[in-house]
Amino acid sequence: MTLLVSFIVLLARVFNIAILIRIILSWMPMNTDSSLLITIRELAYAVTEPILAPIRRVVPTVSGLDLSPMIAIILVQLLVSIFARLA
- Report how far residue 25's alpha carbon sits from residue 53's, in angstroms, rounded to the nearest whole number: 18
Contact in structure between 13 and 21 (CB atoms under 8 Å): no
Contact in structure between 22 and 41 (CB atoms under 8 Å): yes
- Report how far residue 56's alpha carbon sits from residue 22's, in angstroms, rounded to the nearest whole number: 15
pTM higher than 0.75, yes or no? yes
- Report how far residue 63's alpha carbon sits from residue 2's, in angstroms, rounded to the nearest whole number: 43
Domain boundaries, the chain: 3-86
Per-residue pLDDT of the chain (87 residues; tens, 9 = 90+): 688 888 989 999 999 999 999 999 888 887 767 788 888 889 999 999 999 999 999 998 889 889 999 999 999 999 999 988 887
Output the pLDDT for position 49: 95
In what helix (H) or strand (E) does residue 77 lie, and over which residues does it extend? helix 68-86
